[in-house]
Structure 1
């Protein structure tokens, strides 16, 4: 991952090229006030007041040029309004003329991201945006690094990101932060987390299933649990996916990547909480040891699940992990999972559904999502569909036949394992961008991470800026 620290620096009057920002309302007046050489350059470059458009403004000397860029609203910058400039401007030092970048610092940083693990390309030198708000630099850097960590983990091919590597990522976080790491494998996993063991039983040697836990913070502080689905590759099991459906299944551990990133943000900001991170890490493979459609699975909670579809495995491993998290009676439980294709059909790739059993928590998350430009859409935990989970031979099925309300019934299945009275939110994320936007390249990406982090800061205090 690129070192983002040099990309932002306090403004101490260093020489820098100016970036002028205009919008559709201010464009004409701003152009009229420019010297002839600027007006000529703007005309020659055919600059119009449309988003992300920009032009170079020549100075009196060859190296004294500046930049003008069009944004949606000069009085309310978005996180992404400078990202296109960060991707296209040559290396150098830049300063926004007459204003602070504020939230736009994030897009400037994230535009520097490259996944170059398997490329021989020369590294791209970061550009530096000067800011007069030194106290805001470190919090924004933390969020940008957390986002890039999600991108790196999700973009890494499954051959290089199995359960052991996911465990290693958690171990690295524990080592650098002083958190306590616990990993459950083998016979102990089979006895204590039977669905995690069953889903991962078909994996090859070296890719065995495990449950990874991390604990951090003062035991006197409110306890929060963060759970992340860690299916490092999903073949679909015996209900095998098509080749097209399997193509992106390296990203099926995106929930775990989000959980790790959010845990890092909590620890680095020293949020006054007792953190419990839980990641069930498996590969849903095919072999003689694979679980079968029609099998009845035992759960940590004691319920029995009739497995109607081996490609609905994520909710199975999450059920055992959520049960474990609830045993410690947290004040708050968040889970992240690339759980259902139905969520993508309903809301598309950029708008994650939020399921929540607590209205004040849901309201806080939606407010945080709007404030962070990190969208969420609340979906119903519709009790009327709970009967779709009935089984003829067990307590519950994992996936109703027919596929209707697939995201809702998956959330209702998970709710069966949440202890009543614990505030719980479930994010059914995609963790992938099929098309690039400024600051957001095609590939793995963080979704709902900033919203969740803002909610936690608001709920529990800590660093005011994150």
Structure 2
């Protein structure tokens, strides 16, 4: 990645921009031997060997850095890391302006710059103003400035929505955010609220959200040329999930403001599609509720109607996400889209199986799934495919309704949820379901604890490959 540039400590700074040199571990010895003795000694003093996320600052005569050597770890041709290398840098550098001295291919340069922008994000809506940092990057040579700004804007939108607590991110507030995006790009939109959901044959959405102080709703956005391939996005928008009458333990509610992460991801993806003017006819369907407790809350054992006509016995009110999605997926499926994608913070079982960093992918189309997995790997925005195993389908049987919303077994919870949703998709040419976490629970370089808009970049890259010729 990096040639063995000879560098010197004490060199007079001739420009205010500080060069960033990216260095792999297996390039370190060649680099070290090419340096003058003070630099070699400086690297040894700091035990620098180009490990990932390690930075070596070379000081100038006034104590200010004249260069930064950035360790990027071991080379792995199967894994593109430019995005996360860029994201992790700003926190490790002093204030100043920087430029990338290492030559990267155009795509990697764009990823690096987009990652740098991602790493600059801070959610400070509720904090008093603190010291402001200024760590700036000149756009690397070959990088696509429009694409960098597009990805930055989308990730910030999703993170702001997910990070905002439920007292300020109600179904009404989330719907308003979606409408603002639609208006910005001249998209047609409508919002169906409260009892109008029953009139519009969306009874499951209404049932889940009717006990909340803020009425449930569904946002329906359409954009693009009707003659183009139809791409429809559906996102789970549970703005807070108490678990309903099957109430969650207190500790399990602490992160439930993020249960609308699927809707935030779908909206951020929609914004990138519209901003890039991808040649598709886009539709975005976002059901938005709070799963609350009151005298009119839906109950365990209730049988709910759905837009599909299937009846659902409620085995557990804490499996509410699939209930609002089943109506939204049916609505989406009715116009036979070329591609139907739903994103949802749906099951804890997916996190048990794959952990918080690896969203679960389900699809009824092998070609689409494989193409998406390749795009995800190339974008360092990973997914892992799990099967829609038909052998578990009878776990959803009910003695009094067409289907139960949960299994009586404690096994295969994420797969069971996918199988439930599959019953409401019959006309789409290809369907992709993503069970994601939407949260970063540990402090990492460029990735503070908080919202994580998983799969936005992967899905955007996948759609470009699929529809841009």
Give the whole-Å Cα distance in 2 for the aligned partners of 1:134 and 1:22.
20
Q: Which moved more, 1:418-427 or 1:360-369?
A: 418-427
Alignment partner, residue 262 of structure 1: 269
Alignment partner, residue 207 of structure 2: 198
Q: Which moved more, 1:189-198 or 1:309-318?
A: 189-198
Alignment partner, residue 3 of structure 2: none
Alignment partner, residue 33 of structure 1: 34
What are the ranges of 5 or more consecutive residues in structure 1 without an aligned counterpart?
1-12
Return the offset for 1:421: 4.9
Where 1:286 maps in the other structure, the secondary structure is coil
Alignment partner, residue 56 of structure 2: 55
What are the ranges of 5 or more consecutive residues in structure 2 without an aligned counterpart?
1-13
* In the alignment, structure 1 residue 87 sits paired with structure 2 residue 94: no
* In the alignment, structure 1 residue 17 sits paired with structure 2 residue 18: yes
The within-5 A match list for 1:373-388 is 373-388=380-395
Return the offset for 1:15: 4.4
Return the offset for 1:21: 2.0
Alignment partner, residue 316 of structure 1: 323
> Structure 1 residues 27 and 270 mapped into 2: Cα distance closer, same or farther (>3 Å)?
same
Return the offset for 1:60: 4.8
Give the whole-Å Cα distance in 1 for the aligned partners of 2:465 and 2:250.
44
Alignment partner, residue 184 of structure 2: 176
Q: Is the 8 Å Cα contact of residues 339 and 428 (structure 2) preserved in structure 1?
A: no
Where 2:84 maps in the other structure, the secondary structure is coil
Q: Is the 8 Å Cα contact of residues 38 and 58 (structure 1) preserved in structure 2?
A: no
Return the offset for 1:125: 3.8
Return the offset for 1:283: 0.3
* In the alignment, structure 1 residue 65 sits paired with structure 2 residue 69: no
Q: Which moved more, 1:183-192 or 1:72-81?
A: 72-81
The within-5 A match list for 1:99-248 is 99-100=103-104, 102=109, 103-122=111-130, 124-133=132-141, 136-191=144-199, 192-204=201-213, 207-248=214-255
Alignment partner, residue 453 of structure 1: 460
Return the offset for 1:294: 0.4
> Structure 1 residues 133 and 48 mapped into 2: Cα distance closer, same or farther (>3 Å)?
closer
> Structure 1 residues 271 and 292 mapped into 2: Cα distance closer, same or farther (>3 Å)?
same
Q: Is the 8 Å Cα contact of residues 193 and 300 (structure 1) preserved in structure 2?
A: yes
> Structure 1 residues 61 and 33 mapped into 2: Cα distance closer, same or farther (>3 Å)?
farther
Where 2:138 maps in the other structure, the secondary structure is strand
Give the whole-Å Cα distance in 2 for the aligned partners of 1:28 and 1:259.
46
Alignment equivalent of 2:288, drawn from 281, 284, 299: 281
Alignment partner, residue 10 of structure 2: none
Give the whole-Å Cα distance in 2 for the aligned partners of 1:323 and 1:417.
5
Alignment partner, residue 10 of structure 1: none
Q: Is the 8 Å Cα contact of residues 80 and 106 (structure 1) preserved in structure 2?
A: no
Return the offset for 1:73: 4.9
Where 2:175 maps in the other structure, the secondary structure is helix
Q: Which moved more, 1:216-225 or 1:25-34?
A: 25-34
Q: Is the 8 Å Cα contact of residues 230 and 339 (structure 2) preserved in structure 1?
A: yes
Return the offset for 1:14: 6.8
* In the alignment, structure 1 residue 361 sits paired with structure 2 residue 368: yes
Q: Is the 8 Å Cα contact of residues 395 and 409 (structure 2) preserved in structure 1?
A: no
Q: Is the 8 Å Cα contact of residues 215 and 277 (structure 1) preserved in structure 2?
A: yes
Give the whole-Å Cα distance in 2 for the aligned partners of 1:111 and 1:407.
31
Where 1:199 maps in the other structure, the secondary structure is helix
Return the offset for 1:126: 4.1
Q: Which moved more, 1:233-242 or 1:173-182?
A: 173-182
Give the whole-Å Cα distance in 2 for the aligned partners of 1:126 and 1:220.
46
Q: Given the two structures, how large is their TM-score scaled by the length of structure 1?
A: 0.92
Q: Which moved more, 1:161-170 or 1:139-148?
A: 139-148
Give the whole-Å Cα distance in 2 for the aligned partners of 1:421 and 1:159.
36
Q: Is the 8 Å Cα contact of residues 239 and 258 (structure 2) preserved in structure 1?
A: yes
Alignment partner, residue 249 of structure 1: 256
Q: Which moved more, 1:81-90 or 1:258-267?
A: 81-90
Alignment partner, residue 401 of structure 2: 394
Deviations 1:92-120 (A, max 9, x none): 11122242361222221111010000011
Give the whole-Å Cα distance in 1 for the aligned partners of 2:162 and 2:402.
34
> Structure 1 residues 232 and 30 mapped into 2: Cα distance closer, same or farther (>3 Å)?
same
Alignment partner, residue 8 of structure 2: none
Q: Is the 8 Å Cα contact of residues 334 and 427 (structure 2) preserved in structure 1?
A: no
Q: Is the 8 Å Cα contact of residues 435 and 442 (structure 1) preserved in structure 2?
A: yes
Q: Given the two structures, how large is their TM-score scaled by the length of structure 2?
A: 0.92
Alignment partner, residue 5 of structure 2: none
Q: Is the 8 Å Cα contact of residues 343 and 353 (structure 1) preserved in structure 2?
A: yes
Deviations 1:395-452 (A, max 9, x none): 0000011221110110000000002453100000000111122222111101121111
Deviations 1:132-165 (A, max 9, x none): 4365121022112211221111111011101001
Q: Which moved more, 1:93-102 or 1:367-376?
A: 93-102
